[in-house]
Amino acid sequence: MSLLKGTRVTWLGHSTVLVQTAKGTNILIDPFIAHNPKYPKSFVLPDKIHYILLTHGHGDHISDAVPVATKHGSTVVAVYELAAYLAGKGVADTIGMNLGGTVQLEDVAATMVDAKHSAGAQDEHGTHYVGVAAGFVLTVADGPVLYHAGDTSVFGDMKLIAELYHPEIAMLPIGGHYTMGPKEAALAAKLLAPRMILPLHFGTFPLLQGTPEELVGLVEYGVEVVRLMPGESI
Ligand code: NI
Ligand code: MN
């Protein structure tokens, strides 16, 4: 697809997305695999995953960060406190950053942007403060600009994300209950003005009721809502 200029974006159910650039950089966002009922079980991850990006500390976004980082030799990129938490859980290579910052990951400039959501990490010792929730804008050199919103409500400053980075593909949660639903995601689309929306964070659990079909009926003409099965790519 020409919009992607050789970059492949694969949805792995829930908010888990694999980005593979034309130059061969593999980035996995929010790995939720073992306990993700929508993860495509037959899907084989690339041997090398250079970076794992985490939007926030909830289990449905980080639960497979340690095993994937260990097996695939990945550097984990997350908000400062979450990166430190995962270093404490055994991840050898981490990059801690914060909102508004950009790190260069091979041919991808990853900018951490705002999200409106809670962000504690839970383990057998309780709930830990692991920084704030975030989204990522990925500006691929000679490629597309991607935005993964993480978990969030709609917020007016999405307009700033559009003004600064011009994302062409917006990956937005639409399930409702824990994040925005289709009604709010339609307004997010208006603020972000992407060419395509890849809906995330729906249908995984019964509480996540929002559907891509609802979103299709709400977005303005000119924005394509991409409907993938887990394991499929754009
Ligand atoms: Ni969450
Ligand atoms: Mn979530």
Q: What is the pLDDT of residue 58?
A: 98
Task: Identify which ligand lies nearest to the alpha carbon of 14.
Answer: 2
CA of 29 to the centre of ligand 1 (A): 13
The whole model's pTM is what? 0.97
**Separation of CA 151 and ligand 2 centre (Å):** 6
Statement: residue 136 has pLDDT above 70: yes
| One-character DSSP codes across the chain | -GGGTT-EEEE-STT-EEEE-TT--EEEES---TT-TTS-TT----S---EEE-S-S-HHHHTTHHHHHHHHTPEEEEEHHHHHHHHHTT-S-EEEE-TT-EEEETTEEEEEEE--S---EEETTEEE-----EEEEEEETTS-EEEE--S----TTHHHHHHHH--SEEEEE-S-SSS--HHHHHHHHHHH--SEEEEES-SSSTT----HHHHHTTSPTT-EE----TT-B-
Whether residue 19 lies inside any domain: the answer is: yes
**58 lies in some domain:** yes
- pLDDT 10s digits, 47-68: 999 999 999 999 999 999 999 9
Per-residue pLDDT at 188:
97
For 8, the token pair is: 């492949």
- Kindly indicate the confidence band of residue 1, based on its pLDDT and cuts at 50, 70 and 90: low
| pLDDT-based confidence at residue 221 (cuts at 50, 70, 90) | confident
Whether residue 83 is predicted with pLDDT greater than 60 in this model: the reply is: yes
What is the percentage of the chain residues whose pLDDT exceeds 70?
100
**Ligand 1 centroid – CA 2 distance (Å):** 32
pLDDT at 234 over 60: yes
Answer whether residue 133 shows pLDDT above 70.
Answer: yes
Please report whether residue 23 resides in a domain. Answer: yes
Closest ligand, as measured to the CA of 120: 1
Residue 222 has pLDDT above 90, yes or no: no
DSSP string, 8-32: EEEE-STT-EEEE-TT--EEEES--
Question: What's the pLDDT tens digit per position in 85-116?
Answer: 999 999 999 999 999 999 999 999 999 999 99
Please tell me the number of the ligand nearest to residue 118's CA: 1
Instruction: Reply yes or no on whether the pLDDT at 78 is more than 70.
Output: yes
Which residues, 6 or more positions from 225, have their beta carbon under 8 angstroms from its beta carbon? 196, 197, 199, 212, 215, 216, 219
Around Cβ 229, how many Cβ atoms within 10 Å?
9
Mean predicted lDDT score pLDDT of the chain: 97
Q: How far is the CA of 60 from the centre of ligand 2 (A)?
A: 5
Q: Residue 171 maps to which CATH number?
A: 3.60.15.10
Length of the chain: 234
Token readout for 160 is 């700033």
Residue 1 lies in a domain: no
Q: How confident is the model at residue 215 (pLDDT cuts 50, 70, 90)?
A: very high
In a domain, 2, yes or no: no
Give me ligand 1 centre to Cα 60, in Å. 7
pLDDT confidence tier of residue 186, bands split at 50, 70 and 90: very high
Segment 2-48, tens digit of pLDDT: 789 999 999 999 999 999 999 999 999 999 999 999 999 999 999 99
pLDDT at 131 over 80: yes
Dist. CA 124–CA 59, nearest whole Å: 12
Range of the domain at 216: 8-225
Considering the domain boundaries, does residue 230 fall inside one?
no
Q: Find the 61 Cα to ligand 1 centroid distance in Å.
A: 7
What total of structural domains would you count in the chain?
Answer: 1
203 Cα–ligand 1 center, Å: 15
Residues 6+ apart with CB under 8 A from 108: 19, 21, 25, 27, 138, 139, 140, 141
Residue 233 forms part of a structural domain: no
Q: Residue 130 CB: number of other CB atoms within 10 A? A: 24
Give the pLDDT score at 168.
97
Query: Is 65 inside a domain boundary?
Result: yes
